[in-house]
Chain A
């Protein structure tokens, strides 16, 4: 027995993350399509939210900076104005004034004389970082008990005086906190949404697959009539395919059931007859001749049973499908002529006339022997069910595609061909026509003609093998049985090779 190949549980994790041989690809550990879908979606969402917020951050800080710088510039402009009018004194006063009126407490000043003495302003001393005049600096400074970022610009005044105008940009810190908080909240919310979405999507997936799974398990449990309900969603494609498959399985099962019923009923009869005959002869035959007759009859019955078995087996073999090993290019003209010659004698013997109505047929890719057998069964039926002095007609002709004006330039190629056998017998009613191809089916009126009801089943199997159709029509009087056989690309290539040609239809 094959060993269970899955590694023990504790090692499976290892395998999940282990680097795959050669390819170097890691296997993604999460299998649920719904969760993966939601996860992917969440990550995408998070990335776009971060990008979006970063943009907001970037544009608002740069706006703030511009604002602050503009403010510093105008302020400095005005202060220099004061200097021009009233010198250091007036400038110092103006600075003190401004500091007093500055409710937001965000303005920073420093005025120094030539000797580095502080004349006015709220900065404790000249920051070491500021070396160049007329240049913006962004520095972190200590104010009271906290540190804060600030923008500065230093200006040189006449007589060695120097001025620093600055602005506390604590607001930006505030903004950054708000934005950070937003990012965090967004992440939390997106995660929640992703998890919720994952659950919803998984549920959705489950519901889609569930209907298919339910049907499959019903079928597994033996209820072959269960079908997947179509919902109009994307899974319908799968559902339809599975339903078609189930139909086919059902038909095959039906066939098997029919055969077992047939074995139970239809084979029992000849077996019983043979047995009874032998038993009766054993007990009551009074002479060797009588015994011989009984044994002879029993052998006949056994041969009949063998015949039924052969026919059943052959049908089963053909129906098992795709048994196309014997397919070759078949010259149907020759085949029909020879079959007609063979059966013409039988027809004449039964007082019937066999009329031929055959137009030249293209070559067909098929199983010659099976086609002969099918035709033999049809001719046999026609001869068997015809009244004396009537006529049988064997006709055959190629079937052209319905001519469309668009492709008249192309030479007309036949779609397939039709072979039919028509008689002038009792024919069949519609209900019987529907059942004619069933195994062992024989119409009520056919009870006293010999046969076992397998002839048309075999014809049906042979036509299906050739992807064709068996059509029975009431011909008043009589029955017309038609085989439609499509031409496959192989036949057109006349054996050159078996690569399929371009379909021009």
Chain B
């Protein structure tokens, strides 16, 4: 993916840059708002990562508002040291698609970037079923089959699996699951998500020979088709 990174802190910038490049992305960078805005308007990117606070008059929200004002719908991920609910709401209201607070784990950022990039692709066609390897989800009847065998899932388990399937091959973090599957934005204190995923595994993986839901250490989970 082609990514623009606008961040003034050199340590954070080089850290993110290195990580994204290692993950196989093509990254342009800017260390101030003016250059950032120039690149964001002039070039075509799959994703823009914007620091909210930037020196020199033009900050992240200004850039975001400007490009949105030009009907540019490139997904934007905001980076910020402010974790206040209000700031988050401000950022999303200004047209941001996701929000990550500093300090963050790189795995969290990468997972969210890839999820956003994916979202850009399959927005158009409304599907009625999802298939990954031998797993099929019927979105209308809410029926799940693996290897032709029917699996009974609770509504929430179905949504969890649906999210994993939609992001098959990508790492999804626990916070992402809490936010996207449960729509919760608080700190759950315990490993609630792990427990739910492990319940899902009991039904989706345990009865079969190969597992498709995998734990990624220090990051989260990934659903990978069984054939690989």
Contacts and interface: CB of A to CB of B under 8 A. Distances in A.
Pairing of A with B = yes
A380 B103 contact: no
A455 interface: yes
A455 B199 CA distance: 27
A342 interface: yes
Contacts of B123: none
B131 to A, nearest CB: 27
A465 B163 CA distance: 35
Given A342-B184, A345-B195, A372-B184, A455 B85 contact: no
Given A369-B186, A372-B186, A373-B186, A342 B192 contact: yes
A342 B187 CA distance: 13
A279 interface: no
B127 to A, nearest CB: 27
Interface residues of A, number: 29
A254 interface: no
| Central interface residue in B182, B185, B187, by most chain A CB within 10 Å | B187
A384 B185 CA distance: 22
A346 B190 contact: yes
A345 B189 contact: no
A258 interface: no
B83 A313 contact: yes
A376 B86 contact: no
A58 to B, nearest CB: 79
A380 B184 contact: no
Given A372-B184, A373-B186, A380-B190, A345 B199 contact: yes
Interface string A282-317: 000000000000001000001100110011010001
A349 B86 CA distance: 35
Interface of A is mostly: helix
B189 A455 contact: yes
Nearest to A373: B186
Interface string A363-383: 000000110110011001001
Contact of B218 (A296, A302, A369): A296
A201 B117 CA distance: 80
A325 B187 CA distance: 20
Interface string A324-348: 0110000000000010011101101
B196 A345 contact: yes
A383 B103 CA distance: 29
**Residue among A338, A346, A348 with most chain B CB within 10 A:** A346
A383 B195 CA distance: 13
Interface of A: 296, 302-303, 306-307, 310-311, 313, 317, 325-326, 338, 341-343, 345-346, 348-349, 369-370, 372-373, 376-377, 380, 383-384, 455
Given A342-B192, A349-B198, 11 more contacts: A296-B218, A310-B83, A326-B89, A342-B184, A342-B196, A346-B191, A349-B195, A369-B185, A372-B186, A376-B187, A380-B190
25 contacts: A296-B218, A307-B187, A310-B83, A325-B86, A338-B182, A341-B156, A342-B188, A345-B192, A345-B196, A346-B190, A346-B191, A346-B192, A346-B195, A349-B198, A369-B85, A369-B186, A370-B186, A373-B186, A373-B187, A376-B187, A376-B189, A377-B189, A380-B190, A383-B190, A455-B189
